[in-house]
Structure 1
Amino acid sequence: MPQRTPHLYLGHDRVGAAVVRSAGTPRQDERGTPIVLVPGLGAPGYLLRTLRHCARSGPARLLDVPGFRDPGGPVCPETLGPLADTVARWLAVVPRAPVVLAGHSTGAQVALHAAVRAPERVRSLVLLSPTFPPHLRRMRPLLGTLARTAVHEAPDVVPAVLPSYLKAGPRRLLNCVRSAQADAPEDVLPSVGCPVTVVAGERDALCPEDWADHLARRATTGRALRAPGAHAFPHPHPAVTADALAQSRDGWP
């Protein structure tokens, strides 16, 4: 018999001067190790399916940072440093226990830096399609690789992300991309003490297999997994994504 998805709610948590919006399981259901999801480019909609699957086995939250679609406006700037600061502050005051922190795409880089900032609040770190390998840290090769990957994406991912992209506008999206291109996650990973899982889509040229393997080797305790699909694989394959997160919740090492 299929597991029933718990009712999800929209929460607003005060974190310093900001109010961070999130979707997830209700507070009274928060037992066990929570899974916290950080989307890429401030577009949480494409991770809702994964959130629902995660919520079947325990507490789960999907953060809306920087919050482009929130009526109150963005909760923080769209560059990696402020995003990671906001996530780390949220981790420090909201969850009742250390979490499985998972980020996708540029959100993986945000999650990585947040884990360094708040190590006592992160039990395990999961990097889903982390960007960017060194050869994609310039705009011209990135655009060509993006086009090669886009043809393998599920068509219905577009309506899942488009409202957030339109609300953000091209300037903010470009700021986030350039900030991520200036980052070197391979240099940050040795500072992470918790187990790290890197998951890459089989058809994802933005996070190729050798890049995912390299990042996993840079972690003190790391592993690399493959998933079907391209860069946005959590949207068409939420059960596969949730299984990888559940393994991290249960303690795979």
Structure 2
Amino acid sequence: MRLLDVPGFGDPAGRACHETLGSLADTVARWLAVVPRAPVVLAGHSTGAQAALHATVRAPERVRALVLLAPTFPPHLRRMRPLLGALACTAVHEAPGAVPTVLPTYLKAGPRRLLTCVRSAQADAPEDVLPSVICPVTVVAGEKGPRCPPEWIHHLASRAAFGRALLAPGAHAFPHPHPAVTAEVLAQARAEAP
């Protein structure tokens, strides 16, 4: 298993890629072109799920299965006011350790970069991209995640040629407090992929 740290996001002092969704997807697609032992099971969380989706479309032969963990921005959250409400509702349901885990990354990125990334991702319609994906797709959301409600993941899974939707315990950041659940989803996607 490998974790791709997109340039400039984990280390803001490093050479950063542009923070738009297209630029992030291009970075992941370039990584897919050189990663050993491809095709791989590609997974992304939150906005990273959108980047993983677009990278899969750019390099379909390098991805044997795609896992979208808590993909963001269903149509009703593509405007800032409803998104802010969903963020507040989600925070109430997050595990106590989740916010301190992700907050430093947000603070390092800074408000300009975060807003650029969010606006870019809000302009995306993953439901329109999924029919282009030829590998199996698993879409997972936390049971208590208003940012990624169950009806959204079921809709996304239905748009894929080979899609399924799963609910995990927790809220939007469920991979943090439930890593075993996330690992099982990834292992299952790998085992079932052609």
- Give the TM-score of the pair, scaled to structure 1: 0.74
Q: Which has the higher strand share?
A: 1
Alignment of 1:100 with 2:41, yes or no, is yes
Matches within 5 A, 1:4-153: 60-70=1-11, 72-153=13-94
Q: Which has the higher helix share?
A: 2
Tell me the equivalent position of 2:161. 220
Q: Secondary structure at the match of 2:166?
A: strand
Report the Cα offset of residue 72 of structure 1.
4.6
**Structure-2 separation of matches of 1:81 and 1:125:** 18
* CA contact 2:73–2:122 (8 Å) conserved in 1: yes
In the alignment, residue 70 of structure 1 is paired with which amino acid?
D
Identity %: 81
Which one of 201, 205, 210 corresponds to residue 146 of structure 2? 205
Question: Where does structure 2 lack aligned partners over 5 or more consecutive residues?
Answer: none
Q: Secondary structure at the match of 2:55?
A: helix
* CA contact 2:20–2:120 (8 Å) conserved in 1: yes
Tell me the equivalent position of 1:165. 106
**Structure-2 separation of matches of 1:71 and 1:243:** 31
Tell me the equivalent position of 2:185. 244
After superposing on structure 2, the runs of 4+ consecutive aligned residues of structure 1 that deviate more than 4 Å are: none
In the alignment, residue 117 of structure 1 is paired with which amino acid?
R
- Give the TM-score of the pair, scaled to structure 2: 0.96
**Structure-1 separation of matches of 2:83 and 2:7:** 23
Report the Cα offset of residue 65 of structure 1.
1.2
**Structure-1 separation of matches of 2:43 and 2:9:** 20
Report the Cα offset of residue 71 of structure 1.
6.2
**Structure-1 separation of matches of 2:12 and 2:79:** 34
Question: Where does structure 1 lack aligned partners over 5 or more consecutive residues?
Answer: 1-59
Q: Which has the larger radius of gyration?
A: 1
